[in-house]
Structure 1
Amino acid sequence: MGVFVEKSKGVLIMYKLLLVDDEEEVRKGIIKKIEWEKYGFDMVAEAENGWDALDVAEKMEPDVVITDIKMPFMDGIKLAENLREKYPTIKVIILTGYDEFEYAQKAIKLNVVDYVLKPISSRELIDVLVKVKSQIDEEIAQRQDIQVLREHYRKSLPILREKFLASLVMGRLNKGEIAEKARAYGINLDGKRFVVSIVSVDNSDELPPDMGFILPQDSELLSFAVLNICEEIVEKYQLGIAFLNNEQVVIITVSDESDEYTVIKKTISTLEEIRSNIEKFLKFTVTVGVGVVCGDIGDISNSYKQAVSALDYRLILGNNRVIWIEDIEPQREEKIIFDEEKERMLTSCIKVGTPEDIEEVVDRLFEGVDWAKVSINDYKVYLIEILTTILKTTKGLNINTEEIFGANLDIFTEVYKFNNIQAVKGWLKGICIKIMNSILNDRQDTYKLIVEKAKEYARSHYGESDITIDRVCRLLHISPTYFSFIFKKETKTTYMNYLLKIRMEAAKELLRTTNMKVFEVAEKVGYTEPNYFSYSFKKYVGISPTEYRNSIKR
């Protein structure tokens, strides 16, 4: 993502640039040739092959990648393919010799914006950089052009269509009405699987002044800017439908796939691209809640409710991410999401709040009431509603209610033993805090179990060359994004780095204790390419496999 650098005559947008070439002298020569900052670029990192470049791209999120076309392990074309798939907004410039000219021309189809012939001319590279910067500037300007958004918003607001879609996800229509209105508005809802996702702007009151929106007058344009990006990417992947509902963007995945994992994987991958594009082009962040996969359009309101519930977990997981409810509450029974503010406030607080939040919410449940004027029956009903909400919150969350309430305790009777409101509030606060702690402990146990299963899989299958995060996630029935978050949170490293460690330690053991050749050791620990194994081993250990074996024999 571009950064802003203060200049005496204004503000210059600096775009992050990654240089990839297997020859260090070539990289240093290119770096010295150009005053990068003068042309609006910040050289943030270097890499010596495509694999390393992908690792750097994940960490640094560059705007532009300049790469040589011929490199070991992963060449520039393959790198461009991977970048297009994972980071579609990154611009790629290919460095190529005359003998590779035709090869380089094919790269234009892979989101490569231009190529520069070797030996590299400073003037030619500068011209390409100026062209690329102008292209990125124009893309950002288009995203932020308020007047364009105003006109597009005025022309693109089909009120009846939005009303129908809102009624659909809120569960206000029967199946006959759904089919009839969908045909009338030209909306395709023919599918085998459906998912509802909600895109919610993070901290909209704290938007940076440079993004161009004026709040609160332009608050609806803020939502429409998000919708504009969502519609573009949803259309690109033919995911389904995006529309505005209460200043949030709702996306309905409509899929012909029968496999739920395939549906949710495509949905989450598309949502990650939406989230990334909004951060890059609009300069603020969003969190996306994703509901359950359902097989009947008539059940879509349940997926919507679960997407709303998923957004509550940003208090735990943080903003600027995609949250799938199945990741947080696996194998849950269907629970009720309450429309009444007090019920929803209490449920959310128990699940993701703090003891201080519990204190405040329970106090609010009882404030502003003249209890002396309340009949005993109304008082009892009110308490029953609170207790029912508390019990429903525990449903499907693997909570041992006997530990919370006692083996033989009837809480609906127990609550009437207290002779004043303060005592009732104290008792309710104690119960809610116990449930909250139980949920927290169970969630931590779930994290550890997932991580341990993933580690065990790596230890048992490291010799297989086709291990991927996607493969592990299929076995664990968890999304790759959430798995990566959990694994890094628990282990302070990535899963692929953990797998690398397992493979390298196994390789060291084989080199120490057997006479196997290096290519045999490589194959034994999951590498199909011996040269890449040697490269990875040297990067991990500091010396080559042969040098390591010789050092042991001394």
Structure 2
Amino acid sequence: MFKLMIADDEARIRRGIRKAVAWEQFEIEVVGEAEDGEMALSLAQKTCPDIILLDICMPFLNGLELITKLKASDKECMIIIITGHDEFEYMQQAIKLKIFDYILKPVNKESLKDAIARAIEELKKVRDRRNYLDWVNKQFDNNINTLRHSFVNSWLSGNMPFEAVVNELKFLRINIDNNVGILIIKVLDRFNTEVVSKKWDNRLLSFAIINICYEVLGDFEPIFNYVDNEDNIMIVFNIDNPYEWINIGTSIEEKILKHLKFNILLEQRRISNGIVGIKQAYKSIVNVINEKAMLKPVVLLAIKYIEGNYFSNDLSLEVVAEQFNANPSYLSRIIKQETGSSFIDYLTNLRIKKAIFIMDDPTIKIYQVAEMVGYSNQHYFCKAFKKVMGISPTEYRGGSGIG
């Protein structure tokens, strides 16, 4: 059923319009009458009519003012003006307001029926278009994850032009700011063979890991996720707090191990150039993860322990070796063979990388940064920083280290 409202200050005309048409034949219900403009506005807001028969000259609020207010409130309805021959100047203004039609007084039944029939035909077209768009939007919403995966796969593995990437991101409702974080996770199958074979397939496992990541990320606002053809899980999210962000990876790794009983490799990176940097960071991180995945088990476990405890100023080769019942000299030698770095160099580089993340927050003092990454002595931290970066922490924070 369509809803119709009659607004005219003459009761005689309102009664005549009601009796002039067998409204049920048009599938129309007359939802109300109004004798002045203010009453008509209130009634229209309450009943949301599809068609309004509207006198152009009414007290308190004339027809033109009423139409303007209805348009401003996004009321979509077919407005048919009822007007006299001497009101043509008003009609010109009404036409500019995009009324559907007008009928001259005295109201002729056939003219009224013809206007109503055409309004109903137009309303049906509008409904059909709206129903189609609703269907399209529903289909889009139902398939958006598949569309996003397909796009991200093409973006990261192909040579999609920048403009095309921007357009697709907008179409798929993916909003990427300049300051974002990227996490990539790889399940270590050789450490989890028994668990994988008994409980999980790759798709279900990825889903469970992504859910845990989103739970840990919390206020960091995940933007999108992606699982590539090698089952690497990537999550891109906004970064508000640089210091809290550096510990996200450790928290995720601990929670996955606790709840899913899986060992993983996790790498994270902050990107300050948004869309441009994501593809490059993705490829770089995947290469790092693949290199780590090829390490001997004892070296990989040692590295994971270092990355989870880098902030302890008591961390030493002996402490790490003790965790795995390994000989310190043997562990030192095999770490050097597998990674190309000595234990102390690996630890120092990791600490400086973490320090750089923290230093993005200008409220944290240099001595506090040093303590946060495992240095009890600021002087020693500055010396280590300069050895790795070529400049002091103060120079880096001043902008010299930003490239």
| TM-score, normalised via structure 1 length | 0.29
Return the index of the structure with the highest Cα Rg: 2
| TM-score, normalised via structure 2 length | 0.38
Q: Which has the higher contact order (CA 8 A, sep 6+)?
A: 2
